[in-house]
A and B are shown apart, each in its own frame.
Chain A
Amino acid sequence: MYVVIVGCGRVGARLATSLSAAGHSVVVVDSAAANLRALPPEFSGFTVKGDAGDADVLRQTKLDRADALVAVTRDDNLNLLVAQTARALYRTPIVLARCYDPEREDVYRTLGVETVSPTSLTVMAFLDLLEPPRKR
């Protein structure tokens, strides 16, 4: 699988490294060169330095050939913009975006953007630990 990952923070870097180690082709985009340099040696994919909101930067990732795009920058809005660009302009088959704000997430589900909300996931994880599901 050819995967473009937008955002090389903790989540982006770990995801990129895991996919790369599993034998997938991975391109990681981040506007900070330091984040890209911090990728571990196990990562054998490519990196693109630049703002993913810029059409030229996305083009450099060869998104037209990608099987999947994952947008995990710290900016919900940027993730949602990039995800929709991939869907509308590049017809990327799998498009996923991180969205911290659960309320924003609801709207994007209706617009057909698949999102993962760390906020909702964390709340669920804590609830499960506080009162295991079978007791609720």
Chain B
Amino acid sequence: MRAIIAGGAVLSYHLGKALISKGYSVSVINPSETDCAWLAERLKGVIVRGDASDPSILDDAGAGQVDLLLALTASDAANLVMCQLARQRFGVPRVIALANDPANAELFPRLGITDVVSLTQSIAVMIERQVGFDEVISQLPLAGGQIVVTEIRLTGSSPCLGRSVHELDLPSQSLIGSVVRGSAAIIPRGAFRLEAGDRVLLLASPDDLGPALRALTGETP
């Protein structure tokens, strides 16, 4: 598998390293000579200096042969254009765009770029996770951050222990999608009672996530 990464040097380096460790050949595109030299010293990949929304630079980075393009620059316009060029001109099968402006996370799918990472949403979710809730194990924003899937381990102090799902005061835009108890994965109905040690998969809108987490964990971040 081959991938092109266009974005800031530090982000490109760490993502590049992660992809290389998964067996990818990686090309990084960066406009700065200093950044390119820094990357070339550290990363076992091809470093191309230039503007990644320029078709000839994409070509130099091997866009004709890659399986994946990650457009992660600070310019949403550049990210959109390089994804569209990669698709239309080079036939890259998978393109992922960073949307720095949350409004573009909604716009890009309407312009044919369906895989969008919303920076603001992702960071907001991660910060919420860091500052609060010890019981949260992992979190995944979906659909441009409109839905957040959160994995929570219920401890002995959770206020919801022994209560059934329908007795919980969960906000309307939240739902317990699944509970993992021991090795069993359960899709809980209203009468299902929660126990300490349960791993709960919560689906919630960003607005209702906080109240739903408080109902499940009893914590106030």
Contact = CB atoms under 8 A, between A and B. Distances in A.
Interface of A: 53-55, 75-78, 80-81, 84-85, 88-89, 101, 103-104, 106-108, 110-111
Nearest to A54: B101
Contact of B54 (A55, A85, A101): A101
B111 interface: yes
Nearest to A75: B77
Query: Interface majority SS on A: helix, strand, loop or mixed?
Result: helix
B103 A55 contact: yes
Interface residues of B, number: 20
B110 interface: yes
B110 A89 contact: yes
Contacts of B107: 55, 85, 88-89
A77 B101 contact: no
Rank and list the top 8 A-B pairs by shortest CB-CB distance, nearest first.
A77-B77, A55-B103, A81-B77, A103-B55, A77-B81, A78-B77, A77-B78, A88-B110
A45 to B, nearest CB: 25
Contacts of B84: 80, 107-108, 111
Interface in B49-73: 53-56
Nearest to A51: B101
Contacts of A76: 53, 81
Nearest to A58: B103
Given A76-B53, A104-B53, A110-B88, A55 B77 contact: no
B103 A77 contact: no
B80 A107 contact: no
Given A101-B54, A103-B55, A80 B81 contact: yes
B77 A80 contact: yes
A44 to B, nearest CB: 30
B75 interface: yes
Contacts of A110: 88
Nearest to B111: A84
A88 B111 contact: yes
Contacts of B81: 76-77, 80-81, 104
